[in-house]
Chains A and B, each alone.
Chain A
Amino acid sequence: MELDALILSRLQFAFVVAFHIMFPAFTIGLAAFLAVCEGLWLWTKRDVFKRLYLHWIKIFALAFAMGVVSGVVMSYQFGTNWSVFSDKAGSVIGPLLGYEVLTAFFLEATFLGVMLFGWKRVGNKLHFIATCAVAIGTTISAFWILSANSWMQTPAGFAIDPETGNFYATNFWEVVFNPSFPSRYVHMMLAAFITTAAVILAAGAWQVVRHHDQEPTRWQIRMAAGTLAVLMPLQIMAGHWSGEVAHEYQPAKIAAVEGWWETDRIQPTILFALPDEENERNIAEIAIPGTSPYLFPGEKGDLKGLKAFDAEDRPPVAIVFWSFRIMVGAGMIMLALGIWGCLLWWRKKIDKPGLFHWLAVPSGALGFISVISGWVVAEVGRQPYTVYGQLRTEDSVAPVSTGQVATSLLIFMIVYAIIFTAGTVYMARIATRGFEDDAPEPPEREHRAPGWSLGAVDEPAEGGSRNRKPAE
């Protein structure tokens, strides 16, 4: 087996999955936000919620399409590049992915059509149900994929066929609800909501600094700041919960996250270091000693350092160590922004442009940075295994040539660069443009007109338009 195909396959999987995760993370949160807006509109009859809905659904349509197309890639990657893994683990995690398609993908994809194009045909209540169906679909989808991924982290409820060496389930309940699943699912769902809140806050802040003082802007900036202030503390707890589970089942990962080389009863919290894997030590370490009893209060024995594991059983230390700090750092900034925003709200200053707004605009990217670096911690931290402790990554790869993998990696990089650039530009254009004043009336029932797209953007393209012009 060529090592090159292995490394390239790993790079390719990391790349396509990191690209993909941004869109589900964003659309899970955005679908929920849209459901809330539409629900509030139906309930309060206040126009502002309808305007929020009609504005964000356009961005949703774009992000969802990008999530779908990059998701299809994922369902074939396992086979094309990790065929041995697929053969070996198929009887265990295959059904979870099957359930994801059956219970979530069709629900999302089908009702997305109603959500985007069906308002004229179904009436408000049914349309709200379609929005909720999409939102619930995204949540169910995350359930199954997190379950499958968590099984790879903390495999449970399985045995190995002595003849073929294949995994099979002895208890599917234990497979689905494997030890790390509950904490990781909660962690990911919160991450999705937070990511979306950061984007919505950034878009609102942009409106404020541009003096587009509109009623929906005021609502969206408050909703987003409030969401961050409430969810970020919960996320810190969920992250810690996830860390405790990993500490129990994947001590090597935690040792890499913490940058611990030696095994000791009490370990420091390392703030900064350059892990030197060659010489098994940290360079330029800045640490607070003696903190581990507070972080892992349940731990009575030794806290393992990386040296307790054979070098070939350790994850790449520096990547895990630094990704973790990037994730936490980005989270802390979002927590600060949430609290700051709520303080400004309380002191009635949130609608006046200031430093907060200028900082909030670039911080729209922090959720994505956090999500991707968090996944790097989880997945690189799982190395050198695909199924932790059971199946090594080098034994999982498909028998495809280096040339083929190099070609595919190159093609994915080019294709994703193009659609990422275009998608980001189009989404940013909508997000920064402000709300439409005369958003179309919620269309009447029985209006015979298929294909009226809520997601359509009416750009002033050549050839006239039936545009709604951006509000001042």
Chain B
Amino acid sequence: MDFDLPLIWGVLIATAVMLYVLLDGMDLGIGILTGFAKNDDERNLMTATIEPVWDGNETWLILGGGGLFAAFPLAYAILMPAFYLPVLLMLAALIFRGVAFEFRHKAVRKPTRLFWNGAFFYGSLTAALSQGLILGGFIQGVTIEGRSFAGGAFDWLTPFSLLVAVSVAIGYVLLGACWLVLKTEGEVQRRARKRALLALAGVALCFAAVSLATLSIDPRVTERWGFSMSQIEVGKILPLAPIPLIGLVLTALVWRDLSGRVSAPDWRPYVLSAGIFLSGYLGLAVSLFPNIVPFEIDIWQAAARDNALMLMFVGAAIMLPVILIYTGYVYSLFWGKVDPEEAYHD
């Protein structure tokens, strides 16, 4: 049998990153929201909604990074040096965020407690922003020479990447707030709903702005969506139009759910918000495919040897379903509202 292994791996890694965004993005969003918590009780309740699962969620980021190394070593070798500083920033932020999950509860004195609460908030915020900077820099494309990065240390820093960074952070807040709507009750839930609405407004604005900006970033992207010099190619835009349209419809639906006009089940805002992300992600994939280092190197050029891809494909074909099953099992195990009595550690 003949597989297009680079294509399969491109899809697999894109899926891993997507799952990371939906799962740990929500963790980071909650981290940002803890900065606006009324008191430590509310903060503890917020973190309790994700404490049993955050570690597994973050593992998708390792699969994204490790998978890129394994499946597309050339892309990994070009992109990591290109985003050296934002990657460093993200790692440092994730370190603080990760240990703060535990350390927050261990701090006895008030200053240290404040410190770790701060580490959780700023760690989450910085991680979200730096992921956005990396994404923005990625969409812009990087300068290469031969088989390596040849640009400057701050090439990634542009108005566009800053816009993407803010969008990602607000998007994460939306996911986090929707998760809180699902996992909490009463006053905390009410506040989460309000914040989710605010975030949704931000997401609508930001995603639209990023979409338009992305269209103008490279003529090849513009062309793919059917816009060229002076005319619009209906034949190109029509098959793709559902992607942004679905995003718009989902935004409206989340709005309706959150504003309380209809009595929506608590899981729906999160799932529909995930749908908004998905449409944005798909739109991006359409714009950039098949580049893995925009707009220089495609997935076939960057791919590892076929025997390496095949070996990993066998592993992924067996292990990914298993991982998804036990991840689903653990999520279902912790299904339901978090009980405030049980959530507080102190």
B-contacting residues of A (Cβ < 8 Å)? 61-62, 65-66, 68-73, 75-76, 78-80, 83-84, 86-92, 94-95, 97-103, 105-107, 109-114, 116-118, 121-122, 164, 166, 168-169, 172, 398-401, 403-404, 407-408, 411-412, 415-416, 419, 422-423, 426, 429, 448-453, 455-463, 465
Interchain CB contact under 8 A, A110 and B56: yes
A107→B98 CA distance, assembly (Å): 18
Min C-beta distance of B185 to chain A, whole Å: 13
Query: Which residue of the partner chain, among A61, A79, A411, A459, contacts B65 with CB atoms under 8 Å?
Result: A79
Instruction: State whether B338 touches A168 (Cβ < 8 A).
Output: no
Taking CB atoms, residues of chain B closer than 8 Å to A95 are 70, 304, 308, 311-312, 315
Which single residue of chain A is at the shortest CB-CB distance from B63? A101
Task: List residues of B (300-346) whose CB comes within 8 Å of A's CBs.
Answer: 304-305, 307-308, 311-312, 315-316, 319-320, 323, 326-327, 330, 333-336, 338-339, 341-343, 345-346
B346 partner residues in chain A, CB cutoff 8 A: 458-459, 461, 463, 465
Which B residues contact A (CB, under 8 angstroms)? 40, 48-49, 51-53, 55-56, 58-59, 61-63, 65-71, 73-74, 76-81, 84-85, 87-88, 91-92, 94-96, 98-99, 101-103, 105-108, 110, 112-113, 116, 147-150, 153, 304-305, 307-308, 311-312, 315-316, 319-320, 323, 326-327, 330, 333-336, 338-339, 341-343, 345-346
A91: chain B residues at CB < 8 Å are: 73, 304-305, 307-308
- The residue that A114 contacts in the complex, of B63, B99, B312, B333, with Cβ under 8 A, is B333
The residue that A87 contacts in the complex, of B49, B77, B102, B338, with Cβ under 8 A, is: B77
Smallest distance from the beta carbon of A439 to chain B beta carbons, Å?
16
CB-based contact B85/A169 at 8 Å: no
B315 and A399 form a contact (CB under 8 A): no
Known: A72-B61, A412-B92. A86 touches B69 (CB 8 A): yes
Q: Assess the B88–A408 pair: CB atoms within 8 A.
A: yes
Instruction: Give 30 CB contacts A-B under 8 Å.
Output: A72-B95, A76-B65, A79-B79, A80-B81, A87-B74, A91-B73, A94-B70, A94-B71, A97-B70, A98-B67, A98-B70, A101-B62, A101-B66, A106-B56, A106-B63, A106-B326, A109-B56, A110-B59, A110-B330, A113-B51, A117-B52, A118-B334, A403-B153, A404-B85, A419-B95, A422-B112, A450-B52, A450-B334, A451-B338, A451-B342
**Ordered nearest first, which 10 A-B pairs have the shortest CB separation?**
A90-B73, A79-B80, A94-B70, A113-B52, A87-B77, A83-B77, A69-B98, A451-B48, A98-B70, A102-B319
* Chain A positions within 8 Å of B108 at CB level: 459-461
Bound Cα distance A264, B54 (Å): 58
Interface contact A98-B312, CB-CB below 8 Å? yes
Known: A83-B78, A94-B70, A461-B113. A452 touches B101 (CB 8 A): no
User: Given A73-B95, A451-B339: A404 and B84 within 8 A (CB)?
Assistant: yes
Once A95-B311, A110-B326, A407-B85 are accepted as A-B contacts, the answer to whether A451 and B52 lie under 8 Å apart by CB is yes
Q: A95-B70, A106-B327, A109-B59 are in contact. Are A90 and B304 (CB under 8 A)?
A: yes
B95 lies within 8 A of A415 (CB)? yes
Chain B residues with Cβ under 8 A from A76's Cβ? 65, 80, 87, 91
Q: Which residues of A contact B53 (CB under 8 A)?
A: 110, 113
Majority secondary structure of chain A interface residues (helix, strand, loop or mixed): helix
> In the assembled complex, how far is the CB of residue A164 from the closest CB belonging to chain B, in whole angstroms?
8
B102 touches A62 (CB 8 A): yes
Q: Which of A80, A89, A117, A459 contacts B87 (CB 8 A)?
A: A80
List of A residues within 8 angstroms of B330 by Cβ: 110-111, 113-114, 118
A65, B48: Cβ atoms under 8 Å?
no
Closest to B103 in A: A422
Contacts of A415 in B (CB 8 A): 92, 95-96
Besides A94-B304, A400-B81, 5 more A-B contacts (Cβ < 8 Å) are A86-B73, A91-B304, A99-B312, A100-B66, A458-B345
Cα of A239 to Cα of B339 in the assembled complex, Å: 51
Contacts known (A97-B70, A99-B315, A461-B113); A61 close to B102, Cβ less than 8 A = yes
How far is A442 from B80 in the complex, measured between Cα atoms in Å?
47
| Complex interface: chain B residues within 8 A of A455 (CB) | 102
Residues of B contacting A450 in the complex (Cβ-Cβ under 8 angstroms): 48, 52, 334-336, 338-339, 342
**Closest B residue by C-beta to A71:** B62
Whole-angstrom CA separation of A364 from B315 in the bound complex: 39
Q: Are B342 and A90 in contact (CB under 8 A)?
A: no
Taking CB atoms, residues of chain B closer than 8 Å to A118 are: 52, 330, 333-334
* Nearest CB of chain A from residue B333's CB, rounded to whole Å: 5
Q: Most chain-A CB neighbours within 10 Å: which of B71, B110, B305, B343?
A: B305
Distance between B266 CB and nearest chain A CB, rounded to angstroms? 15
Q: Tell me whether A423 and B103 are in contact in the complex, defined as CB-CB below 8 angstroms, given that A98-B70, A121-B333, A456-B345 are known contacts.
A: yes
Of A102, A419, A459, the most chain B CB neighbours within 10 A belong to A102
Is B84 touching A400 in the complex (CB atoms < 8 A)?
yes
Contacts of A419 in B (CB 8 A): 95-96, 99, 103
Do B84 and A451 have beta carbons less than 8 Å apart?
A: no
The answer to whether B59 and A79 touch across the interface, beta carbons within 8 angstroms, is no
A62: B residues at CB distance < 8 A:
102-103, 106
Give the residues in chain B near A71, CB-CB below 8 Å.
62
Cross-chain contact B315 with A98 (CB below 8 angstroms): yes
CA distance A408 to B342 in the complex (A): 40
- B320 near A102 (CB under 8 angstroms)? yes
Question: Which residue on B lies nearest to A450, using beta carbons?
Answer: B334
Give Cα A71 to B94, complex, Å: 11
CB distance from B117 to the nearest CB of A (A): 13
Q: Smallest distance from the beta carbon of A422 to chain B beta carbons, Å?
A: 6
Shortest beta-carbon distance, A444 to chain B, in Å? 14
Q: Which residues of A contact B101 (CB under 8 A)?
A: 65
Rounded to whole angstroms, the CA-CA distance of A416 and B99 in the bound complex is 11
Closest chain-A Cβ to B22's Cβ sits at a distance in Å of 16
**Residue on B nearest A94 in the bound complex, by CB:** B70
Residues of A contacting B320 in the complex (Cβ-Cβ under 8 angstroms): 102
Contact A452 B342 (CB under 8 A): yes
Contact call B339/A448, Cβ cutoff below 8 A: yes
Q: Which residues of B contact A458 (CB under 8 A)?
A: 345-346
B77 in contact with A94 (CB, 8 Å): no
Knowing A80-B84, A172-B307, say if A72 contacts B94 (CB, 8 Å).
yes
Complex Cα–Cα for A429 and B102 (A): 14
Question: Which residue in B84, B98, B106, B343 is a CB contact (below 8 Å) of A68?
Answer: B98
Chain B nearest CB: distance from A374 CB in Å? 25
Nearest residue, chain B, Cβ from A451: B48
Q: How near does chain A come to B343, taking the closest CB pair, in angstroms?
A: 5
A98 and B323 contacting across the interface, CB-CB below 8 Å: no
Chain A nearest Cβ from B95, distance in angstroms: 4
**CB-CB under 8 A for A79 and B69, given A86-B77, A114-B333, A423-B103:** yes
Residues of A within 8 A of B88 (CB): 80, 407-408, 411
Residue of A110, A118, A172 with highest tally of chain B CB at under 10 A: A110
